[in-house]
Amino acid sequence: MSKEITSPQPYTSEAECLQYHSQLFKTFATGKTKSIKWRKWQLKQMWWMLVDNEKAITEALAADLGRHKFEALTSDLHGLKTDILEHLNHVEEWAADEPVSSAGFLMGTLGKARIRKEPLGVVLVIGAWNFPFLLTLQPVIAAITAGCCVVVKPSELSVASQNLMQDLVGRYLDPEAIRLVTGGPQETTKLLELKFNHIFFTGSTKVAKYVAAAAAKHLTPTVLELGGQGPAIVTAKADLDLAAKRIAYAKFLNAGQICLSVNHVFVDPDVHDAFVNRLHYWTQKFSGGESSHMCKIVNKRNFERLSGLLEETSGKVFQASVKEGDNMLSPTVVTDVSIDDSLLSEELFGPICPVIKATYKDAVHQTNSGPHPLAIYIFSSSRSEINYVLQNTISGGVTINDVLMHYGVPGAPFGGVGDSGQGYYHGKYGFMAFTHQRTILEMPTWMDKLMAFRYPPFDMKNMNNFVVKNNLGFRRGETMEDQVIGGSRSWVWAGLGVLVASAIGVAMKNPNSFHPELAPDAGASPAEDLIAIMPLILF
């Protein structure tokens, strides 16, 4: 890899940022990015950007994080290419107007009620350093699919990836609608002073609070993809070898620098020693003594932070044998860890695995004493134990008897809750994050006579048209236990729909069908008859 890519480059100037910001708003105003053709073309260009530059991307990830080529291809590139194909395949479906199926005959059939998916506008995507391509470009894919213009801000900590991305985005994607800017905390702070229509941030909870505060000044909506101290809970009924194997894999992948990684492990006291024995085995097995298969800590500051936490721990430390290198921290397991240990004072974000003796119920209690984590991992063969953890915890997601896997469930949302994040993305959920759902209704002008009762001067006789009846059948005096839980009344509404449609048809053909006693010269009209069934149509 060239020195130009791996060495720090001058950050984007404030003047350039202002120029790009203005340019993108002008582009969005033209409607250019709303075109499905434009969206699909940009997604295809990103595909070729990844395919053409696979070697350069894997080299950049190796330079920044010491990432093995296999890990780079399977984590960053595979996920991005899969995302591009999914969005290309569904963009027309997701962007199409959606009829409101529950709108009824009046608003649905006659008023053509529908939801239009409109791009929010000019959006800012701030990426993370731990998966610099995946976590920066994934939300960009969603924003492009939604029809937005995008300012892309990769992390300055992954220097080689940032510099390469700046070159590639400028060469492959539409510069009138997509611009990449670089900068550190000072430059990012200035960037956040500008008004955007949406901000998507991936990073730490601490920085997210600054992003959210800056966004609030402009009432800008945000998606915040954060992290937290996500536990693995290993019960006495778990497959201990499999649990240890999968936890070691997740904990030391990317040197533990993953927002979804296992932060610490709760293990039932009855199986603690057996589990730790297998965890030691897999920790050494996966490291293999080869530092080329292990990622490094991103920079000296984080390396020293992790080393300091290890020095302060009162637990028993086991480290795998790995060849030393710059910012290389050996995979580490720490046992006899107390709840107030230094290793549990913050999200570790490194290859250190504290193990705490605790029953699954105690583990739930300890987990609930802190902020909601991004993920919880449950290892057990007992359905009652699994259900207990699920029912008594809150987290962004859960994987049972494995790790990380819920991140990649097709068609499912991914995101945190509370301190671990807000909002969702992946697939259609990412598209919707950058989309405004605009309700559209076209009321026929001839309907005005049928709805004249809504205008002043008001006549209380017309209140009959607005009576809301308890058609669900619940009654005064029933107890909470008396309630019917489950089942469906959809057949009732389907039947009413048929009756209403039939009644309207009869009324339009025969104005006096509802009141046969009325003579033709009595002034009765379809409008008067329809008023009687208006509540059914409306509600």
As annotated, the active-site residues are 225, 259
Per DSSP (E only), the strands in 174-237 are 178-180, 198-202, 222-225, 231-234
Q: Which helix (H) or strand (E) holds 2?
A: none
Omega of the bond leading into 457 within 30 degrees of 0 (cis): yes
Is residue 531 within 8 Å of residue 463, measured between CB atoms?
no
Furthest C-alpha separation in the chain: 101
Cα distance between residue 459 and residue 488, in whole Å? 37
Strand 375-379 to strand 222-225: parallel, antiparallel, or no bridges (unpaired)? unpaired
Cα distance between residue 496 and residue 423, in whole Å? 38
> Within a 10 A sphere around the Cβ of 328, how many other Cβ atoms?
17
Is residue 298 within 8 Å of residue 318, measured between CB atoms?
no
Phi-psi category of residue 294: left, alpha or beta, with phi > 0 → left and psi -120 to 50 → alpha: beta
Is residue 83 within 8 Å of residue 141, measured between CB atoms?
yes
What is the phi/psi pair of residue 144, to 5°? -65, -45
CA distances from 38 to 86, 92, 149, 325 (A): 16, 12, 11, 46
